[in-house]
Amino acid sequence: MYVGEIRQEFPILQQQVNGHPLVYLDNAASTQKPRRVLEALDRYYREDNANVHRGIHELSRRATEAYEAARVRVAALFGITDPAELIWTRGTTEALNLIAGSWGMANLGPGDEILLSVMEHHSNLVPWQIVAGRTGARLRFLEIDEQQRLDLSGLDELLTERTRLVSLCHVSNALGTINPIREIAARAHAVGAVMVVDGAQSAPHLPVDVQALGCDFFAFSGHKMCGPTGIGGLWGRRKLLEAMPPFFGGGDMIEFVELERSTYAPLPNKFEAGTPAIAGVVGLGAAVDFLAEIGPEAIQAHERYLLGYALEQLRAIPDLRVFGPEDIAERSGVISFTLADIHPHDLATILDAEGVAIRAGHHCTQPLMHRLGVGSTARASFYVYNTTEDVDRLIEALQRARTLFGY
């Protein structure tokens, strides 16, 4: 990979922070935007700004064409053979809430069970808590083993005829653990359960084919894959989507409206009420073009190289504890760690003074933090534009933190 050339595509990386060249290692939270995404957003607002689907004038035609062309390109990236099965949402959180509020409320009842894991992001936990509270369904959880991988030893006991839905992250945002979704989906389907995948951390970093995964729903966020904020998507199998009631009501999701009743538009419009994030969709289409040119396999290989390099350096630092699987083949480019008794927020503040941006906190995974026996961790996460020099700067800043705290 020509990482130097790739970095030149990201204007934000050319700046200094606190007198140091920026090292951006908070990619699990949000990624930076290449020039072509910025240009696509600017071009839409300068030249094509109009609402989609509803107008017959030239601007509306061009906006609609760009909007739907992006759907086709994003679908192709994820192996989605029918683009109408791809629903635009504001991101992974809204996509998971859509499933919970539509499929969940329509299909779950007392005695039914929802299987999650203790490593889930709050976005794949809280919506199911709400649904369980309203329907009488019961939540059950997969635990993690000593290397913070899903413990599948009790899966057969957890998957029963009462299990109606399994919803898991493909990759843990706090640990980097890559979960064996294909195996779990097959076992879920064997008991008649629906399989939901939170793909927020896999869509940007791994080759993803929803058909090969064997899932029924797949949710993702555009801003984590070089696209704009406020745009993401939900893929679902047509049979399930067509049977689900709308999640939002309003314009463009209807077929015919009377005062007392309405009929609904076919997919995908049925779930896209109101004026959508048109510019966001256009920008996401440009981001997907950028990532497709590099190639998901190349992105994963680059991150795995950085991961191996970083883990080797980090494990040489005294008093530093790294979370997640030891085998880099079982994890993505996310490293959560603690350093002695230095609070992760203090670590992040010291690193920021050195121009190194990381994340510190519970990463919206409070139950997981409880399982790990910590309140929070520091987290460095890589993407396609990061380099070994970035890792070296991280290590130098952590050594400076140790010195400042007297270690």
Burial of 384 (0-12, 13-18, 19+ CB in 10 A): buried
Total domains in the chain come to: 2
Residue 359 domain flag: yes
55 band by pLDDT with thresholds 50, 70 and 90: confident
Residues 248 and 359 grouped into a single domain: no
242 & 384 share domain: no
Q: How many residues does the chain have?
A: 407
Q: Residue 1 above 90 pLDDT?
A: no
Claim to verify: residue 114 and residue 66 sit in the same structural domain: yes
d(CA 227, CA 283): 6
Q: How far apart are CA 74 and CA 90, in angstroms?
A: 15
* Beta strand pairing call for 194-198 and 163-169: parallel
For 72, 110, 273, 296, the CA distances from 78, given in Å and listed in that order, are 10, 35, 24, 10
| Domain co-membership, 213 together with 65 | yes
* Residues 128, 42 share a domain: yes
User: Looking at the domain assignment, is residue 29 inside a domain?
Assistant: no
Rg (CA), the chain: 22
User: Is residue 202 domain-shared with residue 246, that is, in the same domain?
Assistant: yes
- Cα dihedral 270, 276, 278, 283, rounded to 10, equals -90
Q: Domain with 130 in it: what CATH number?
A: 3.40.640.10
Helix, strand or coil for residue 175? coil
198 pLDDT higher than 90 = yes
Residue 203 and residue 74 share a domain: yes
Of 269, 292, 315, the domain-final residue: 292
pTM over cut 0.75: yes
Arithmetic mean of pLDDT, 16-24: 98
Mean confidence (pLDDT) of the chain: 97
With 0-12 CB in 10 A as exposed, 13-18 as middle and 19+ as buried, what is 219?
A: buried
Domain final residue, candidates 263, 292, 321: 292
For the segment 205-240, what is each residue's pLDDT rounded down to a tens digit? 999 999 999 999 999 999 999 999 999 999 999 999
pLDDT tens digits along 62-89: 999 999 999 999 999 999 999 999 999 9
Q: Answer yes or no: do 285 and 335 share one domain.
A: no
Residue 302 sits in the same domain as residue 171: no
Which position among 169, 215, 226, 364 bears the catalytic label? Answer: 364
Question: What CATH number has the domain bearing residue 352?
Answer: 3.90.1150.10
Q: How far apart, in Å, are the Cα atoms of 359 and each of 48, 49, 77, 230, 348?
A: 37, 36, 28, 20, 7
The per-residue pLDDT for range 140-196, each reduced to its tens digit, is 999 999 999 999 999 999 999 999 999 999 999 999 999 999 999 999 999 999 999
Statement: residue 131 has pLDDT above 90: yes
Based on the residue annotation, tell me whether 364 is a catalytic residue of this protein: yes
Q: Could you tell me if 133 and 186 lie in one domain? A: yes
Domain that holds residue 84: 38-292
Looking at residue 326, what is its pLDDT?
94
> Is there a single domain that holds both residue 225 and residue 129?
yes
User: Is the pLDDT at 113 greater than 90, yes or no?
Assistant: yes
Average pLDDT over residues 323-329: 96
